[in-house]
Structures are given as C-alpha cells and as structure tokens.
Amino acid sequence: MLNFIAEIVMVIGAGVILYLVAQALPRVNDVDVSHSHKPKEHWVMHYIELCDEWLESATEKLLRRARVSLLKLDNAVHKKIAGLRKENNSSEENNKRLI
C-alpha cells in the first residue's frame, strides 16, 4: 500500500512538472520576428496550391458520397435483418400453435 501511495505521489509530481514546462514553453522564442525575411514564392507554388484545393474538395466529396452509400447499405441490411426476425418469430408462433 505504501508503494502505491509513493507511485501516485511521483506521478502527480511528474504531471505538475509537465504542466509547468508546458506553461513556460510559449515564452521561449529563438527567432526574432522583426528580422525574419519572407522569401519570394516560386511561380509553381500557385499551381500547386490550386491542385491542393481541388484535391481536397474532390476527396471531401468522395468521402461524403462513400458515407452516404454506406449509410444506405446499413439501412438496407437493417431492414433485411428486421424482416428475417419478424419472419422467424411468426414461424415460431405457428409451430407453437401446431404443437
């Protein structure tokens, strides 16, 4: 029991140290913003950005359509299972009546 309590105190201490480091991290700044130089963009970057936007929208549309198709398939399977259950229950009731 004493070992368990000691482990809990150590884990809580490690958590506090991690929290303090995370709080101090945003204050660390290696680059001086006033002297930063932004390089000129290459002319190809414009076309790469356009392709990236098109690819992102096409992927989003494809994933949305796949989701809708999967939901439709799930709905059809659910209806089929419900019909089989209903059919199975009615056949069991008929068998009970015959016996």
Instruction: Concatenate the DSSP letters of all residues of 41-81 into one string.
Output: PPHHHHHHHHHHHHHHHHHHHHHHHHHHHHHHHHHHHHHHH
Cα–Cα distance for residue pair 84/71, rounded to 1 Å: 20
pLDDT of 65 above 70: yes
Cα–Cα distance for residue pair 99/93, rounded to 1 Å: 10
pLDDT given for residue 61 in this prediction: 97
Cα–Cα distance for residue pair 69/61, rounded to 1 Å: 12
Dihedral over Cα of 48, 50, 51, 57: its sign:
positive
pLDDT tens digits, one per residue of 13-53: 999 999 888 887 766 555 555 666 667 778 888 889 999 99
Per this entry, what is the length of the chain? 99
